[in-house]
Structure 1
């Protein structure tokens, strides 16, 4: 009997579920960023703040770029080749928005990454070096709307249109991108 107390990540044989799992992890990291906004002014760059900043930086510097590449290099091009009719029209509308949002999020992340570095390093907290609430709110808002768009339109379309071979191809590409051998 599997242990239901331990949540496990889907494997790459379910690539759309992996992408959704990534979104869930992004939501947790965005929550951590929000928590840091209140924590650092009260407690400074203490051990908890350092650990939280490291966690957010690790995710958005390593995992998030893989996730964006999964969509840009594999998922969206595969959907473009497969979709027709209303699906193709919707994809033609959404794809430029999704790609622009990726660039916008990447740009915002660069600013946040610089703000998180002194926190992660345990530098003495100074008002000028604290995390910008405006940057965190903007980053979180764009990411949240972006993920909702993908979960509402893109993931269901892929699940409906992709055959088993295409799902396997997508999963394999995602696995290789992360340096994981089957």
Structure 2
């Protein structure tokens, strides 16, 4: 399995670079989710499977919602202010769909933590995981290539500093 929690290459003083680094982490975690399905099909719910399930659960339950909140507060609003409301609306709809799909995946991963998953349930779970990963990857691509460049260009450096401070504050609680 892979290391999921490497330190991002950027900090809150560079909020767009930090969000891009989060996307790299999300992509690695999506890859881990899909590899988990193959691993469980071959090796069952062994210790590696449980560790991977735990890592995926932690990431998409804790870090991803904070990241989405950052985007909804700082990126999507900036897109709307500068004539890209349709893109912001589509990305927000993706967030809602990803949240709903994630809710259906949580019991799958919890089942792996609890013991072996029957083959018939694993096949259905893996299809859910693939659909989730496909949606997420498409979403990340749209943010990386369309949303972030547009929002960054529309956000002066002093506002980016405030944005980073607000993002850090939400994580401190």
Q: Could you state the TM-score of these two structures normalised by the residue count of structure 2?
A: 0.90
In the alignment of these two chains, the number of paired residues is 167
- The answer for the alignment partner of 1:95 in structure 2 is 88
- Superposition deviation, residue 127 in structure 1: 2.5
Residue 153, structure 1, aligned to residue 153, structure 2:
no
Give the corresponding residue for 1:111: 104
- Report what 2:40 is aligned to: 40
Contact 2:68-2:95 at 8 Å conserved across structures? yes
Tell me, which stretches of 5 or more residues in structure 1 are unaligned?
1-5
* Equivalent residue, structure 2, for 1:76: 76
Separation in 1 of the partners of 2:8 and 2:100?
31
- The 8 Å contact of residues 13 and 164 in structure 2, kept in 1 or not, is answered as yes
Is the CA contact (8 Å cut-off) linking 1:118 and 1:129 kept in structure 2? no
Contact 2:8 2:22 in 1 (8 A): no
1:51 and 2:51 matched: yes
Q: Which residue of the other structure, out of 154, 162, 170, is the alignment partner of 2:155?
A: 162
SS in 2 for 1:124: coil
Superposition map of 1:4-15 within 5 A = 8-15=8-15
Structure with the greater alpha carbon radius of gyration: 1
Q: Which residue matches 2:118?
A: 126
Distance 1:136 1:79 in 2: 30
How far is 1:7 from its partner?
A: 6.8
* Match in the other structure for 1:28: 28
- Gaps of at least 5 residues in structure 2 are 1-5
Does the 8 A contact of 2:29 with 2:59 survive in 1? yes
> In structure 2, how many angstroms separate the alpha carbons of the residues matched to 1:137 and 1:7?
26
Provide the rounded CA distance (Å) in 2 between the counterparts of 1:120 and 1:53: 7
